[in-house]
């Protein structure tokens, strides 16, 4: 059975850290084969104390000049003897894992030389139309698209809950220090020909932004980071001798993916412009090509809805798609206009009961 070390980077997460730690310690997995470490990074609240009280190890770090999640992870990894472990799993502090999470990860063994990504699900799916839409988009990716990628032997993008084999960490160290370290790691490992697998039997739960204002904070950061990664890693992916053209094309699609709803909005705009401004046979060809680009999106969405336990409630949120599409477009425009701003901004959160996580219901101190 693989030996897993779980790292939880946390900056002033006293509202959420207890639930995260409890879920990790409650996993159905031998205690001798797991280690849970919270990285309290420049915390000014009770994060470290609560992490210890609930049973986790806690590495406390105070370094204002080298603040941030990626640097905190790199620092913590330097304090762990990675030779004693098979993989390192990184879980966001505002998340909880399913009781079978570690077993789902173990199903991919051996883990030492691969990267893997579990399913991401939403704790507060039915709070409002925005959280329902966010949860549906997640289902499209994790329950439909990622299994298809796995079958096609294409790398899966990584995010919350990602795991990295310790042989990779020992050989290369921690490789990303950007504001979107998960997307950058996807580009780096893909360019190097490292396999990134989908851990379909493992699930981590987190909160979806409950308002457009909260969501804008997240998406501006993600999009800004993604644009920089395309700029920095796009040429390297094209030149890579470690991957074939199928993986190169898929990586470019993933890195350039702006989101399905924005894709829908841009398609509608392109069709209208082609028909009314270009006109003639060329205009209709452009409109047809743009419409055809939606085929995969439509199919995956219908599959995700058909498999959803409450499809009617999810479909009701579609009435707000025009509002969502306009908002996403505004976020993109705002992001492009402020690409020089790399300031990290916190997204507000609300504590959630750990029970909802079930699919069924310096020096360290």
* Domain segments of the chain as ranges: 4-256+345-357
**What's the CA gap between 21 and 9, in Å, rounded?**
12
Element (H, E) at 40: strand 34-41
Task: Return the higher-pLDDT residue of 220 and 167.
Answer: 167
**pLDDT over 90 at 35, yes or no:** yes
Which residue stretches of the chain are H helix?
17-25, 47-53, 69-77, 101-106, 129-139, 146-151, 166-172, 181-191, 212-239, 245-256, 260-273, 280-292, 295-307, 311-316, 321-337
Candidate ranges 152-156, 229-233, 347-351; pick with highest mean pLDDT: 152-156
Task: Place 363 in a pLDDT band, splitting at 50, 70 and 90.
Answer: very low
| Distance between CA atoms of residues 90 and 96, nearest Å | 12
Helix (H, G, I), strand (E, B) or coil at 34: strand
Instruction: Give the residue-averaged pLDDT of 44-49.
Output: 97
- Above 50 in pLDDT, residue 16? yes
pLDDT band at 186 (very low <50, low <70, confident <90, very high): very high
Instruction: Give the C-alpha separation, 137 to 127, whole Å.
Output: 16
The pLDDT of residue 347: 53
Residue 252 burial (CB count, 10 A): 14
pLDDT the model gives residue 356? 40
Task: Say which residue the tokens 């084969």 belong to.
Answer: 33
What pLDDT score was predicted for residue 234? 92
pLDDT at residue 248 above 80? yes
Helix (H, G, I), strand (E, B) or coil at 85: coil
Least confident of 71-85, 124-138, 326-340: 326-340
- Tokens coding 68: 């941030």
Given a cut of 90, whether residue 291 has pLDDT beyond it is: no
Question: In this structure, are residues 342 and 82 in contact, taking their beta carbons and an 8 Å threshold?
Answer: no
Question: Rounded to whole angstroms, how far apart are CA atoms 143 and 121?
Answer: 10
Vertex 197 angle, CA 195 and 203, to 5° = 150
Report DSSP state, residue 131: H
- The CATH classification number of 4-256+345-357 equals 3.90.550.10
Mean pLDDT of 292-298: 80
pLDDT, tens digit (0-9, with 9 covering 90-100), for 158-180: 999 999 999 999 999 999 998 89
pLDDT score at 360: 34
Task: Please give the pLDDT value at position 90.
Answer: 99
Predicted model pTM:
0.87
- Please, what sign has the CA dihedral across residues 213, 205, 185, 151? negative
- Give the model's pLDDT for residue 346: 53
Do residues 194 and 105 touch, judged by C-beta distance below 8 A?
Answer: no
SS3 213: helix
Please give the pLDDT value at position 349.
56
* 32 vs 329, residue with greater confidence: 32
| Residue 355 confidence (pLDDT) above 50 | no
């Amino acid at each position: 059975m693989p030996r897993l070390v779980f790292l939880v980077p946390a900056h002033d997460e006293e509202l959420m850290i207890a639930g995260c730690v409890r879920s990790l310690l409650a996993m159905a997995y031998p205690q001798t084969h797991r280690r849970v470490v919270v990285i309290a990074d420049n915390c000014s609240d009770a994060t470290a104390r609560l992490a210890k009280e609930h049973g986790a190890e806690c590495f406390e770090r105070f370094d204002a000049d080298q603040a941030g999640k990626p640097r905190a992870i790199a620092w913590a990894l330097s304090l762990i003897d990675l030779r004693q472990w098979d993989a390192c799993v990184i879980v966001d502090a505002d998340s909880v894992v399913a009781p079978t999470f570690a077993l789902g990860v173990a199903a991919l063994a051996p883990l030492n030389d691969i990267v893997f990504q579990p399913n991401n699900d939403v704790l507060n799916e039915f709070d409002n139309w925005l959280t329902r839409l966010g949860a549906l988009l997640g289902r499209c990716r994790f329950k439909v698209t990622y299994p298809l990628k796995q079958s096609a032997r294409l790398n899966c993008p990584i995010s919350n809950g990602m795991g990295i084999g310790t042989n990779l960490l020992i050989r290369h160290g921690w490789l990303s220090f950007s504001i979107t370290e998960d997307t950058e790691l996807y580009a780096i490992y893909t360019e190097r020909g490292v396999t990134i697998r989908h851990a379909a039997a493992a699930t981590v739960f987190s909160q979806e932004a409950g308002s457009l204002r909260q969501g804008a904070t997240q998406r501006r950061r993600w999009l800004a980071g993604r644009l920089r990664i395309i700029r920095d890693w796009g040429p390297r992916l094209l030149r890579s001798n470690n991957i074939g053209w199928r993986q190169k094309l898929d990586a470019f699609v993933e890195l350039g993916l702006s989101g399905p709803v924005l894709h829908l909005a841009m398609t509608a705009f392109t069709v209208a412009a082609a028909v009314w401004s270009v006109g003639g046979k060329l205009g209709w060809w452009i409109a047809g090509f743009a419409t055809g680009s939606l085929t995969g999106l439509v199919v995956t969405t219908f599959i995700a809805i058909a498999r959803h336990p409450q499809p009617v409630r999810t479909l009701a949120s579609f009435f707000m798609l025009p509002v969502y599409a306009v908002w996403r477009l505004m976020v993109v425009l705002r992001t492009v206009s402020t690409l020089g701003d790399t300031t990290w901004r916190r997204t507000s959160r609300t504590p959630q009961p750990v029970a909802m996580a079930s699919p069924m219901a310096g020096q360290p101190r």
